[in-house]
Structure 1
Amino acid sequence: MSSPLPQEGIDVYFSETFGDGWESRWTPSEWKKSDGTQGTWQLSAGKWFANEAEDKGVQTAEDSRFFGLSAGFDSFSNEGKELIIQYQAKYEKDIECGGGYVKVGPKLSDPKTFGDPTPYNIMFGPDKCGYMKRTHLIFSYKGKNVLKKSDLAYKQEGEGTSHVYRLILKPDNTAKVEIDGEKIYEGSLKEDWELLAPKEIKDPDDKKPSDWVDDSMMDDPEDKKPDGWVEEKKIVDAKATKPDDWDDEEDGEWEAPVIDNPEYKGEWTVKRISNPAYKGFWEAKKIANPEYVDDDNLYKYDDFGFIGFDLWQVKGNTIFDNVIITDDVKEADAFVEKWKALSEVEKEAKSAAASKDDDDDDDTRRSKG
């Protein structure tokens, strides 16, 4: 469905609800077509929806496939603006291993080749493989894709229900991430990504002094092994005697058996005490990094011209909908309100389905009983 035109002065760079004609606005990738692993896309509202026509989005149609789909728009720069990238995702099945993120970047020369090697500005959204779960937020800087130092929370646990992902990138070099209207991160690009070289580095000319003591504990020089300390675990059984019928020629030379030593006290070790000469952990002193260059335009990209889904999924059936790139929060909020209405329906339907499954299980147990 098409979105209403924005008010004058408000920039909506891209908006898509996958209504009539969406195929003309999006181009499927053929990046993995030659090796037979390229997945296909279909239109679906999923098994739970409020209004089937309104709630349809594009869905990954198979399992164990690569999926690529992109849409272009008029190139723009986010210089001096708050940029909002927002979309909706619904995992109809547990993905097991794969992503549900978007990539946004400069204008594509050939959308059919869109895939993992394609340069992008920002990658944003959920990613999971086994126990590794996170919401990706990757920024490209000087040709390098840089992950956040620590992972963002993964919220795509409620399989079968929709979630809305929002990134706000600000001119003060901060970013904010909201999932389902809840803030899960707000912080600095300079501090939370290694986009810039470190301000300080360890002095390569600083060496640890030869008399530096970095052992915090030492053997107690006054601790001595007690007289009579027995460390032999086994001894020859002094009470054993050679059997009367033992034949040395046939049985070999007789040896008394070995038994546990009743006097054994264990292996003795010297007591450990604090080392009075300990100076602590040594590390080289820090000096200014000659390669450090500050950049107050980390947030800025000269060219945004496409948005796309470039995914590997072990389990498909993920539905994407209500995509928007804008600098006005009210425009993005309108899609959040739409998600809220859908989410209520989905949660009620999921709860009802779970109750029915429980009733069916009870009936099965009773019939077997």
Structure 2
Amino acid sequence: MMFIIYVGLVALGVDIDVVFGAAGLWKHSKSEGHEDYGLLVSEKARKYAIVKVVDEPVSLKDGTTVLQFETRLQSGIECGGAYIKFLRPQEAGWKPEEFDNESPYSIMFGPDKCGKTNKVHFIFKHKNPKNGEYVEHHLKYPPSVPSDKLTHVYTATLKRDKEVKIMIDGEEKKKANFLAAEDFDPPLIPAKTIPDPDDKKPEDWDDKEKIPDPNAVKPDDWDEDAPMEIEDEEAVKPEGWLDDEPEEIDDPEATKPEDWDDEEDGVWEPPKMYNPKCAIAPGCGEWKRPMKSNPAYKGKWSPPLIDNPNYKGVWKAREIPNPNYFELDKPDFEPIAAIGIEIWTMQEGILFDNILIAKNEKVAKSYRETKWKPKFEVEKERQQAEEEASGLDFLASIKRKVFNALYQIADIPFLSNYKPQILVSSRNMLFLICNISISLV
């Protein structure tokens, strides 16, 4: 397996034995269903880290830069990441063996899913020229992670016009401007002013817009104790209601187990079953009038709200110039000095392949068409065949369940007179299910 790093049009191959693994065991493994190899996350519930330093740092400041890689979630993903970190130059003396989640990066890109999180991250770290601090800027409203188990190719194209384009399988899913406040959180360009942290709300500041009317009086006819619901006095017990029949009866076919010991297990009681007589009657047991809304119900009285004569509005701290404000014509990205995968996942089977950096979009497109697309088509055909086969198995199980249920119903004593009609219905239903299965095939 090779990591292919493209800088311009020059391809540099990096053998797997010069990258460093940590925690979980990385494997050089075949992708399921074909002969293509990749870098495999082999164990669940583990942390993984692996990194490769590039021969020369890749500048992101001028022209177009394409970041692209493939990943396949062969076991699906419930909680875990499959993203890549494009590291900026590290401190002097740093070694690849020291790579971990604290290693600073320039861009983090790729799928992540856990709980409510389901997104393809694009995060960049940018240095504030005023205070020297690095700030993470997250793409707003990123695309979702594909839900299947096929190989997908993720592409982030950084353009000279200050835009980034996110593609999945060559299809554009998101476009954003690095300088637009509505595209990244927090915005790259800080606000010109900020609330004064030393400004305090005056003690006599009244920010309640409405207050209870102090002159309001509860009406004399207001009954706080009236219930929300009352019995419907006009309701009449349905004809045929079986007052003396319980809704559940002892199962007449149940027998006490041979190994049942009354002294140790207690007195044996047959299990309960639904009373079949109740199925053809309006109801069983003691009839009670239904409840209805009480027209006299008003609930607990409270005085109405009126405008607060002392209302001063919502208090806000006064604005002061932001000491960390700066302006830029374009992002000042740190160069890419290494490529790293640093993830935690609850699923095994995540496969990475064909990681590249390119200065030409045609190179990335060619790689998608020649490397990714052929194996994606193979995987897709295999998936469709498996889905069709599982669909037929599912329909066959439905047919068995329908037959069993209808034959059991037909054997109920009080329905014995209707047994021929029930069996005819079961055959008709089978015919319908067969037609459904044929149409699906």
TM-score range, shorter chain: 0.7 to 0.9
Change (3 A) 1:265 1:202: closer
For the aligned residue pairs, the C-alpha RMSD in angstroms reads: 3.4
Deviation at 1:270, TM superposition (A): 0.9
Report the 3-state secondary structure (helix = DSSP H, G, I; strand = E; otherwise coil) of the residue aligned with 1:121: strand
Change (3 A) 1:199 1:172: farther
Please show how residues 183-262 of structure 1 align to structure 2 within 5 Å: 183-190=172-179, 191=181, 192-194=184-186, 195-204=188-197, 213-227=206-220
1:263-316 Cα deviation digits (max 9, x unpaired): 997533112234466454332343321221224453422x42211211212111
Aligned to 1:97: 79
Deviation at 1:28, TM superposition (A): 2.9
Aligned residues: 320
Q: Which moved more, 1:101-110 or 1:318-327?
A: 101-110
Normalized per residue, the structure richer in helix is 2
Pair 1:69 & 2:39 matched: no
Change (3 A) 1:3 1:110: closer
2:368 pairs with 336, 346, 349, which one? 336
Equivalent pair of 1:138/1:145 in contact (CA under 8 Å): no
Aligned to 1:348: 381
**What CA distance in whole angstroms lies between the structure 1 residues aligned with 2:42 and 2:4?**
30
Aligned to 2:281: none
Change (3 A) 1:3 1:292: closer
Pair 1:29 & 2:21 matched: yes
Change (3 A) 1:367 1:149: closer
1:88-123 Cα deviation digits (max 9, x unpaired): 111101222111001112457422332212222111
Matched letter for residue 55 of structure 2: D
**What CA distance in whole angstroms lies between the structure 2 residues aligned with 1:333 and 1:280?**
57
Q: Which moved more, 1:185-194 or 1:273-282?
A: 273-282
1:299-348 Cα deviation digits (max 9, x unpaired): 422x4221121121211111112221011000011122233333333222
Matched letter for residue 51 of structure 2: S
Matched letter for residue 97 of structure 1: C
Pair 1:144 & 2:137 matched: no
Deviation at 1:135, TM superposition (A): 1.5
Pair 1:286 & 2:319 matched: yes
Equivalent pair of 2:28/2:37 in contact (CA under 8 Å): no
Aligned to 1:246: none
**What CA distance in whole angstroms lies between the structure 1 residues aligned with 2:226 and 2:348?**
63
Equivalent pair of 1:178/1:184 in contact (CA under 8 Å): yes
Report the 3-state secondary structure (helix = DSSP H, G, I; strand = E; otherwise coil) of the residue aligned with 2:380: helix
**What CA distance in whole angstroms lies between the structure 1 residues aligned with 2:204 and 2:103?**
54
Deviation at 1:67, TM superposition (A): 2.0
Q: Structure 2-normalised TM-score?
A: 0.63
Change (3 A) 1:228 1:167: closer
Change (3 A) 1:3 1:132: closer
2:303 pairs with 270, 279, 288, which one? 270
Report the 3-state secondary structure (helix = DSSP H, G, I; strand = E; otherwise coil) of the residue aligned with 1:214: coil
Equivalent pair of 2:87/2:105 in contact (CA under 8 Å): yes
**What CA distance in whole angstroms lies between the structure 2 residues aligned with 1:4 and 1:279?**
64
2:345 pairs with 298, 313, 331, which one? 313
Equivalent pair of 1:220/1:270 in contact (CA under 8 Å): yes
Pair 1:322 & 2:354 matched: yes
Report the 3-state secondary structure (helix = DSSP H, G, I; strand = E; otherwise coil) of the residue aligned with 1:331: helix
Structure 1 residue runs without a partner (length 5+): 33-37, 235-262
Report the 3-state secondary structure (helix = DSSP H, G, I; strand = E; otherwise coil) of the residue aligned with 1:29: strand
Aligned to 1:127: 112
Pair 1:179 & 2:168 matched: yes
Equivalent pair of 1:136/1:147 in contact (CA under 8 Å): no
Structure 2 residue runs without a partner (length 5+): 128-132, 228-295, 405-441
1:124-167 Cα deviation digits (max 9, x unpaired): 10111123212222212336351416341222311x21111111
Change (3 A) 1:364 1:274: same
Aligned to 1:156: 146
Aligned to 1:116: 101
**What CA distance in whole angstroms lies between the structure 2 residues aligned with 1:14 and 1:133?**
33
1:231-274 Cα deviation digits (max 9, x unpaired): 5789xxxxxxxxxxxxxxxxxxxxxxxxxxxx997533112234
Pair 1:78 & 2:74 matched: no
Pair 1:170 & 2:155 matched: no
Pair 1:46 & 2:32 matched: yes
Q: Structure 1-normalised TM-score?
A: 0.74
Equivalent pair of 1:83/1:168 in contact (CA under 8 Å): yes
Equivalent pair of 1:29/1:111 in contact (CA under 8 Å): no
**What CA distance in whole angstroms lies between the structure 2 residues aligned with 1:164 and 1:15?**
20
Equivalent pair of 1:136/1:151 in contact (CA under 8 Å): no
Pair 1:11 & 2:44 matched: no
Equivalent pair of 1:218/1:274 in contact (CA under 8 Å): yes
Aligned to 2:430: none
Matched letter for residue 168 of structure 1: T
1:219-241 Cα deviation digits (max 9, x unpaired): 2344222347565789xxxxxxx
